Amino acid sequence: MDINSKNKKLCLEPLRGIVTQGEKLADTVTFRLPNVYGNLTLSALSWQLRAASEKNTLATADLTASASGEFCLVQWEVSADFTAVSGALSLMLVGTDSAGNVVIKFPGDDPIWVRDAETGQYSPPEDAIQKALNGLQQAESALEEARESLENATKALQDTEANFRILGHYDSLSDLQSSVPDPSLGDAYGVGNPTVVYVWDGLAWAQLPGVLVSPALPMSVANGGTGATTNIEALKNLGAQASGNLLVNSRFKYNGRNQTSYTGGALTVDGWNSASGSVTITLPDGVTVANAASISQLVQQDSTLFSKSATFSVEDSTDTVYSVSATMPESAQNTSSQIASQSTPWGSISIWNSNTGSAFSVVISATSAVTLTAAKLEIGSVSTLAADLATAQDETIEQLRLDMYDLDPGRPARILTQNKNLLDNWYFVGGGSQQGGSRFPINQRGQASYTSAGYGIDRWTATSSDVTVSVLSSGVQLSTAGGASVRQIIENYNDYAGKTVTISALISKPQITGRASVRLRVNGSFSSYYVNFTGGKTYASASFSLPSELTSLYFEISAENASYVILAAKLELGTRSTLARLVNGEWVLNDPPPNFQQELAKCQRYLKSTYVTQNVCVTDSDSQIQTLLMDPSIMRIKTPTGIYLSPTIYAHQVEANSVIDITGSAFTINNFGSVITIKDSRFEVGKFYIISTSSIWQNFVSDPVEILVSAEL
């Protein structure tokens, strides 16, 4: 099976729906990439396939590549790791150069789907976190063996009445000689791997015969060890790992709110919170903190730190790393107290107990302006931040961690499963359904613009005549000379009483002047339920807890002396916005455009454009005639209202060949919008009539009468 690529994306359509849970080696896939991309020869790279499932597992496989003409062919045999869990699976090909740098990525255009197995769930694959834990267990066993070997050697020396302790470890004798230029008599150090012990005899470093420790103790964190310098510290730090950063968004790269600056006392870039006060935090190129303030992050996985040494490191824009180490408490203290602190030229860095969530936190304080570029909290007494920064960050893993720990409810989620949109007719790009061709938004009233208060495009009503709503191919433009909004009335609002909801909207450009916002009007007030499009941002979202008693609920998009184009909006349950995500610095929708026919059907429950058929009608004793409407469907209420869209309406009497203008005659619509009853005293009881838009008799041939039937809220 061949999978082609286009614009650095894998076209995965041939793979969708053919893989079943638990399969292995049944399908062989060839990814067909261009062999030359820019200055890269792709067949010369090392390739790895990564797959993230909606159940937060990660499977990887190293693949082989070969050149074939103008193509690079990368072979993959679908293994059990990739099919172990059912559901959505996001694929990404990652190319690495000879130095180990990730130089190019080919993500899938959309997730594929692993079908459920008939026999039930298989065990999930060993994901990246489990592999790391297995490595830690191996390191722990090796460390225990090393500890026993060293203790045995020490005891043997003590039996010979030697009294010394090993002061440290160096990779080579030359490293020891350069690092300890003035040793004291009897100083002892471990050298190499396996480790031998050297003692200063007053003239030279003498190897202590018969003492051999393998592996080296203590091992460095970069080699899977603990980063400790003594046995006791090493035993405390069992579980250290080279890339074990307990912080998320450690390189300040993810900025879900899409603002270029933040003020104090709020969440800022993803996962980080600013202290209250006059703090200003600006982007890009790291995070600049000014005005004697701080940013902090609550530590997830805090139990892994209990009773261990921990090191917090921060790099600033001068490429200088500052660090502070501390012995952590045996448990979270549920109090605000500082554990350790280290001064820097621009302020300080510190580790704290936190009474927020009974956890630990890290704090970066600035007494003068500083630009921060990276941070790390790790187990061990040695900082490995600089080593981390020498390699590229795995974006897939980082985004999964951001979603997994859910530090920031206001950050748009980058997840596979989207929440249901509680709004109707929420996708505004396309130019309007009045043009035909299933174009969004649904616009049964058919106007290209609306300039008065009331309903315009389906389900959305303007609150004032100060607003102009224009239906464009790029979206719906909202323009005001004063202040107004368009709103959708939520019909079943009591379903959401006492629940947490999230609102969001995406616009194509910021307002020219004035202010724009997305908000909820709850029980007649929106004062506590809004978020503004500030600082030139095009995406805004916020979460709110609704009162336990609701009398009304409206979703509104507003403008004050502003003009901008709306692309999409969303109201959803929960604390996370799932409408859009950042891709290469641009906001794109997580949700695909809705199904047109389904969206039209939802709107037609409130409003439908239909026709009065030309059935022959007979007048009853109340001077009424009844005829059917085309396309009958159940509407919101049993007795909707109607408006003739045709300029003049006529009733032709069949027997006398006479015509009556009934444009102003009273009428009602009943039976769920399927029957229209027209009343006029000029109708003759028992006579037959035909409804038409023409005043000219055409032998029972007439144009249907167009009518707009409304059951709006």
Closest CA to 466 of 451, 447, 450, 454: 451
Q: Which residues of the chain have pLDDT under 50?
A: 119-129, 132-133, 136, 146, 150, 153-154, 157-158, 160-163, 213-217, 416
Q: Compute the Cα dihedral for 179, 184, 185, 189 and give only its sign.
A: negative
Q: What is the DSSP pairing of strand 666-670 with strand 675-679?
A: antiparallel
- In 533-665, where does DSSP find H-type helix? 596-604
Cα distance between residue 360 and residue 328, in whole Å = 9
Sheet strands (E) in 329-369: 337-344, 347-354, 359-366
- Check: CB of residue 361 under 8 Å from CB of residue 369: no
pLDDT at 220: 58
- In 228-271, where does DSSP find H-type helix? 231-236
pLDDT at 700: 56
Using alpha carbons, list the distances in angstroms from residue 510 to 207, 331, 451, 593: 72, 48, 22, 22
Cα distance between residue 358 and residue 356, in whole Å = 5
pLDDT at 338: 92
pLDDT in tens, 165-216: 677 778 788 888 888 888 888 888 888 766 778 888 788 888 876 555 444 4
Where do we find the tokens 């206001």? 410
pLDDT in tens, 657-703: 789 999 999 999 987 788 999 999 999 999 998 888 888 876 555 67
How large is the C-alpha radius of gyration of the chain? Answer: 35
Q: What is the DSSP letter of 409?
A: T
pLDDT at 323: 94
